[in-house]
Amino acid sequence: MAIVRCRGKGLTESTPPGDLVSAIMSTKVVTVKSTDKVSKALQMMVRHKIGSIIVVEKGKPVGILTERDISTKVAKGQKVRGMVVRNIMSKPLITIGPSAEVSQAVEQMVRKDIRRLPVMEGDKLLGMITERDVFRYLITVSYAPNIPEDLRKLIETRTQAHALSH
């Protein structure tokens, strides 16, 4: 199992590598067309209780619209609801493959200062790994095999709620 410890700004592995992104990623990913209005994307994000949405053109992922993208524009006084998603999304899309190790995903997220990482195989979107997924994984690995019962129940409950909202 790969555990990554942050020391200052660098990362070091403390155990042998092992667990794959595919084991902890969410497989239900919400998408929006690049030509859709930001208001539609926001409604979908609220409905699904998510902080980002993958942007597609002709069925292929081309970017991601995040809470950060939206709040940055709003802080600058821009009215985003009527804007087209393509005009404020983050691009190019930074991705990772399903067979990458969790430690590689964490390193990429830290280096790029991102909280969400779409999981792709070629042009096909398979899922998403988020800070929340990594956090749950690290708690599980840190406490395994003796996860305190109250913590285990909390993680399971939140994981189920997160899965239902997608």
Domain ranges of the chain: 20-165
Global pTM?
0.78
The CATH architecture annotation of domain 20-165 reads Roll (3.10)
H helices of the chain, in order, are 21-24, 38-48, 67-75, 102-112, 131-143, 149-165
Query: Alpha-carbon distance 96 to 98, whole Å?
Result: 7
pLDDT tens-place string over residues 99-137: 999 999 999 999 999 999 999 999 899 999 999 899 888
pLDDT of residue 14: 39
Q: What is the rounded average pLDDT for all residues in the chain?
A: 84
pLDDT tens-place string over residues 71-103: 999 999 999 989 999 999 999 999 999 999 999
- Confidence class of residue 148 from pLDDT cuts 50, 70 and 90? confident
